[in-house]
Amino acid sequence: MIKLHHFHGGIHPPDYKSQSTQSAIAQAPLFSEIVIPFHQHAGETAKPIVQVGDHVLKGQMIGMPDGFISSAVHASTSGTIAAIGLRPVAHPSGLPNLCATLIPDGKEQWCQLEPVDYRNHSQAELQQLLRMAGVVGLGGATFPSDIKLRIGKQQVNTLILNAAECEPYITCDDMLMRERADEIVQGAEMLRIMVDAEQVLIAIEDNKPEAIAAMQVAVTMSGVSFEVVPIPSIYPGGSAKQLILILTGLEVPSGKLPTDVGVQSFNVATTYSVYRAFAHGEPLLSRIVTVSGNVLHAKNYEALIGTPMNELVALSETLPDSNGYIMGGPMMGLPLPDIHVPVVKATNCVIATSDKLFPPPPPALPCIRCTRCVEVCPAELQPQDLYWFAKSRELGKAQSFSLFDCIECGACSYVCPSHIPLVQYYRFAKSEIHAREKEKKAADLARERHEFRQLRIEREKQEKAEKLAAKAKAAQSLKPAKTDNEVITKSEV
């Protein structure tokens, strides 16, 4: 057993997980319309490579990765592309995004799949395969996995499978581990080889004993020397840098990557997708989604990417007093103003809300500097000072008090006795700083251009003058007698 470490702070919110783990993962049916956004990952939007009217097969690529950080997008079932255009999606901005609307033909006709033996391919080839299979982090950040595998000359000693799943309500990773532990372990071995790690740690919060047991069995059966590590259930123990600290005692320096301390981590569901991509040649077409909260049957579904979220929650029968939906967990999730959006790679959970389950917060009182937020902050910040600076728009000070080390986990807001929406203030301050930097860059560019133009005009003037002088000189030395002519030339100029 490895020795566990503690990160500063953290909270113990009630976990509400048992509701959705009573039954096995259910297969969500095929609905009459599938909407596939081209931007489901961190980085650049994938470039559409199909046209309206095209018939596509299940697994066929419809969006080509475009740019270094990007990932492919595929048709999750066979059918016809009915439209390509802007559709509402689940995004903090609330703006619609480029999507392909696919009308399934119901045949589930696969395209040609090409399983690969990961042992016979180079690192670069495997990374390219994952990029083309659209494999991205399924823990919520949806960072393209191939980028995380490009570790260059860095040495990765420890590979971490992140199965902490520390947010309340969410159980998709828990259920995946209970039911598909073998595939996850095989995926982990593939990742281990790709980063050439010596040690593999599978971190699971101790509130998931069934998943821990299932993973232990799978590890033993497959004969690998991975270690399943039950970690204390404390939010946000699943945050990458906090998890690395728990398992290794190493603190990833601010602004650096886990690979800088010889660690890389992947979510278990991502690991499962890596396995599917190599062993079956399957791109990422579906994911497990927890539907919970104010519903009759809280449950996990395996849903195709693009499944209408309203249809998916309808399967669990939303209760009549529901008043909204959250995508993700109650700590960091996104409120959905409109449930008519597609399930995307980031959709780990959909929670139906009601006033009873999520009472609106009482009006905020002033901060009394009780420092409960300091006690729980996993980034060891001074949330009350950041709040003060954000509120008074002292953005420089907020930055010097490490605003950008805030991981927006929401622990401070959770404990605040004045009910101040602290994280909102930090998000606001961060976006203001970004906006100002952008403005400053634009202004700098404009100034540079202006200065260059001035310089050019000046230089041209000078060159002209020099040319003239040279010409005059030449004329003088060549035709010293023809002074009249010279005068005419000068006046002409």
The contact set with another protein (CB under 8 A) reads 7-8, 11, 13, 168, 241, 251-256, 324, 326, 328, 330-335, 337, 353, 358, 360-363, 365-371, 374, 378-382, 384-385, 397, 400-402, 405, 410, 413-419, 421, 423-424
What is the SS3 assignment for 470?
helix
Name which of 4 and 50 has its Cβ closer to another protein.
4
Q: Nearer to another protein by C-beta: 127 or 413?
A: 413
Q: Are 281 and 116 in contact (CB under 8 A)?
A: yes
97-104 and 79-87 as β-strands: parallel, antiparallel, unpaired? antiparallel
Residue closest to 149 by CA, chosen among 194, 212, 102: 194
- Nearest-angstrom CA–CA distance, 91 and 97: 9
Amino acid identity, position 453: R
Using DSSP, state whether 254 is helix, strand or coil.
coil
Nearer to another protein, 62 or 245 (CB): 245
Q: Measured from the CB atom, is 118 or 325 closer to another protein?
A: 325
123 - beta bridge partners? Answer: none
Least distance from another protein to the Cβ atom of residue 323, Å? 9
Rg from Cα positions in the chain:
29
Structure tokens at 110: 């696969």
Closest-CA residue to 134 (of 350, 22, 285, 301):
285
If the CB atoms of residues 252 and 309 are measured against another protein, the closer one turns out to be 252
Query: Which lies closer to another protein via its Cβ, residue 159 or residue 398?
Result: 398
Sheet holding 61-64, edge to edge: 47-48, 61-64, 73-74
CB of 265 to another protein, least distance (A): 16
Q: Which is nearer to another protein, 163 or 415 (CB)?
A: 415
Tally of CB atoms within 10 A around 480? 9
Residue 334 CB, shortest distance to another protein, in Å, is 7
Shortest CB 385 distance to another protein, Å: 7
CB of 418 to another protein, least distance (A): 6
Q: Is 130 exposed, middle or buried (0-12, 13-18, 19+ CB in 10 A)?
A: buried
Minimal distance, residue 276 CB to another protein, in Å = 31
Tokens at 396, concatenated: 């420089």
